[in-house]
C-alpha cells in the first residue's frame, strides 16, 4: 500500500510539473505565431500563390491548428506524371516554402501506379463514372457541373475554374534563385561521367527542410534506404532572399493557343450546340502562338 501511495504521489507530481512546463510553452508559441502571421499580412509575395495554396491545404484536426499550419507540412502526394507534376517548377516551389521558413519540412512523394490506394482514387472513379454517361462535352463549365454533382453527398466536391489572373509566371521566377541542374554533394569530386545528376524522373521521394536550406534530399524509392543530396540554391543567393512569384504569366488575360489547335477549334465549332456557341466565339478571339513547343 505504501509503495502504491508513493507511486501515485510521484505520478501526480510529474503531471503537475508537466502542466507547468508545457502550458506556458504553448502559450508563448501561440503569441509568436500570431505576431508572425500579422506581419505576413502585408507581404504580397506570400499571399499571391498561384494555386490557392493557403486556402485549400488540409489542416490537421487539432486545437493548435495555427502552429501546425505554420511549422510543417508532413506529406505532399502527387501523381507520378512527368511534365505535369514531376517537373522543375513544382520542386522549386516546394523548396521555396522551406527556404522562406513557411514550413519546416515538406515530404514530397510520387507513388508508383498500382502500388498505392489513396482515398482520392475513389473520388476520381465517381467522377469518371458520371463522365461516361455523356455522349459529348463542349465546355469547361459542363465538366465543373459534372464533378460537383457526381458525389451523392452534397458539397463533397468543390471546383475552382482557373482564370488567367490566377496563373503566375513561375518558370522565370525560380531560375533567379535556383540552379537548373546539379550533382550530388558526395559525387562533386568524381569525373563528370560518374557523377549523379539531378534527374527528376529517376526519383520517387523528395524531402525539403529548413535545416538544409537550398538542398533537396531525394530517394529512388519511397521510404528507401538509398538517398542523395542536391544543392539547388545559386551560390550567390542567400535563403532569406528567396521570395515567391507575383508577375502574371498572361498579363493580357488571354492564353495564346497554337495556330494548328485554333484551326481545329474553328472546324469543330460548326457542330457545337447553340447553347454553348458563345463560349467558342470567345475562344476564337484569343491570340495564337506559332511556336510548336508552347500552347
pLDDT over 70, % of the chain: 67
| C-alpha grid cell, residue 200 | 527528376
Predicted confidence (pLDDT) at residue 117 exceeds the cutoff of 90: no
Q: Helix, strand or coil for residue 288?
A: strand
Decide: 295 and 258 in contact? Cβ < 8 Å: yes
Of 170, 176, 169, which is closest to residue 248 (Cα–Cα)? 169
Residues 76 and 206 in one domain: yes
Burial class (CB in 10 A: 0-12, 13-18, 19+), 160: exposed
The boundaries of the domain holding residue 288 are 254-295
| Alpha carbon distances (Å) from 98 to 94, 227, 258 | 7, 19, 37
Of 245, 244, 247, 248, which is closest to residue 99 (Cα–Cα)? 244
Residues 3 and 19 in one domain: yes
Alpha-helical runs (H) found in the chain: 2-40, 44-47, 53-56, 65-71, 88-99, 119-131, 140-149, 170-174, 259-269, 277-283
Residues 218 and 288 in one domain: no
Predicted confidence (pLDDT) at residue 274 exceeds the cutoff of 60: yes
- pLDDT score at 102: 82
Residue 218, beta-bridge partner list: 206, 228
Residues 79 and 11 in one domain: no
Instruction: Give the residue-averaged pLDDT of 86-90.
Output: 80
Burial class (CB in 10 A: 0-12, 13-18, 19+), 33: middle
- pLDDT score at 30: 47
Q: Helix, strand or coil for residue 231?
A: strand
Predicted confidence (pLDDT) at residue 78 exceeds the cutoff of 90: no
- pLDDT score at 72: 58
Predicted confidence (pLDDT) at residue 114 exceeds the cutoff of 90: no
Residues 26 and 77 in one domain: no
All residues at 6 or more sequence positions from 77 whose CB lies less than 8 Å from its CB, including other chains? 109, 110, 111, 118
Of 236, 235, 212, 207, which is closest to residue 222 (Cα–Cα)? 207
| C-alpha grid cell, residue 149 | 454533382
- pLDDT score at 60: 47
Confidence of residue 152 (pLDDT cuts 50, 70, 90): confident
- pLDDT score at 2: 41
Instruction: Give the residue-averaged pLDDT of 155-183.
Output: 86
Which comes out higher in pLDDT, residue 27 or 72?
Answer: 72
DSSP state at residue 168 = B
Count the domains in the chain.
Answer: 3
Mean pLDDT of the chain: 75
Decide: 80 and 110 in contact? Cβ < 8 Å: yes
Residues 156 and 276 in one domain: no
**Per-residue pLDDT tens digits for 212-269:** 888 999 999 888 899 999 999 888 887 677 888 888 888 877 778 888 999 999 998 8
Residues 228 and 238 in one domain: yes
Residues 111 and 31 in one domain: no
Burial class (CB in 10 A: 0-12, 13-18, 19+), 275: exposed
| C-alpha grid cell, residue 184 | 550530388
pLDDT over 90, % of the chain: 8
| C-alpha grid cell, residue 203 | 526519383
Residues 199 and 277 in one domain: no
Which comes out higher in pLDDT, residue 198 or 23?
Answer: 198
Which comes out higher in pLDDT, residue 67 or 194?
Answer: 194
CA distance 58 to 118: 15
Burial class (CB in 10 A: 0-12, 13-18, 19+), 234: middle
Residues 293 and 181 in one domain: no
- pLDDT score at 169: 87
Residues 26 and 106 in one domain: no
- pLDDT score at 207: 93
Instruction: Give the residue-averaged pLDDT of 190-218.
Output: 87
Instruction: Give the residue-averaged pLDDT of 140-151.
Output: 90
Which comes out higher in pLDDT, residue 142 or 241?
Answer: 142
- pLDDT score at 16: 45
Q: Beta-strand (E) ranges in 131-211?
A: 205-209
Longest dimension (CA), the chain: 93
**Per-residue pLDDT tens digits for 27-63:** 454 444 455 455 545 554 444 443 454 445 554 444 4
Instruction: Give the residue-averaged pLDDT of 70-82.
Output: 61
Residues 113 and 231 in one domain: yes
Amino acid at each position: 500500500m505504501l509503495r502504491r501511495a508513493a507511486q501515485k504521489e510521484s505520478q501526480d507530481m510529474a503531471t503537475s510539473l508537466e502542466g507547468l512546463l508545457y502550458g506556458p510553452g504553448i502559450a508563448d508559441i501561440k503569441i509568436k505565431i500570431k505576431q508572425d502571421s500579422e506581419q505576413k499580412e502585408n507581404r504580397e509575395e506570400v499571399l499571391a500563390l498561384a494555386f490557392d495554396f493557403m486556402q485549400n491545404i488540409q489542416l490537421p484536426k487539432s486545437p493548435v491548428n495555427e502552429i501546425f499550419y505554420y511549422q510543417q507540412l508532413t506529406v505532399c502526394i502527387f501523381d507520378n506524371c512527368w511534365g505535369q507534376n514531376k517537373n522543375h517548377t513544382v520542386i522549386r516551389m516546394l523548396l521555396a516554402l522551406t527556404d522562406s521558413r513557411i514550413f519546416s519540412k515538406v515530404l514530397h512523394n510520387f507513388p508508383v501506379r498500382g502500388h498505392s490506394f489513396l482515398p482520392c482514387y475513389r473520388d476520381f472513379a465517381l467522377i469518371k463514372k458520371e463522365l461516361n454517361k455523356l455522349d459529348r462535352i463542349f465546355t469547361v463549365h459542363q465538366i465543373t457541373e459534372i464533378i460537383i454533382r457526381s458525389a451523392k453527398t452534397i458539397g463533397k466536391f468543390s471546383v475552382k475554374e482557373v482564370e488567367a489572373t490566377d496563373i503566375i509566371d513561375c518558370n522565370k521566377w525560380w531560375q533567379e534563385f535556383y540552379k537548373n541542374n546539379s550533382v550530388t554533394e558526395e559525387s562533386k569530386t568524381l569525373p563528370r561521367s560518374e557523377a549523379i545528376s539531378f534527374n527528376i524522373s529517376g526519383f520517387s521521394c523528395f524531402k525539403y527542410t529548413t535545416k538544409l536550406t537550398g538542398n533537396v534530399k531525394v530517394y529512388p524509392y519511397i521510404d528507401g534506404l538509398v538517398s542523395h543530396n542536391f544543392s539547388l540554391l545559386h551560390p550567390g543567393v542567400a535563403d532569406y532572399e528567396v521570395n515567391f512569384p507575383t508577375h502574371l504569366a498572361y498579363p493580357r488575360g488571354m492564353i495564346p493557343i497554337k495556330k494548328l489547335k485554333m484551326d481545329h477549334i474553328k472546324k469543330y465549332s460548326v457542330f457545337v450546340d447553340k447553347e454553348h456557341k458563345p463560349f467558342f466565339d470567345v475562344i476564337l478571339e484569343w491570340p495564337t502562338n506559332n511556336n510548336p513547343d508552347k500552347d
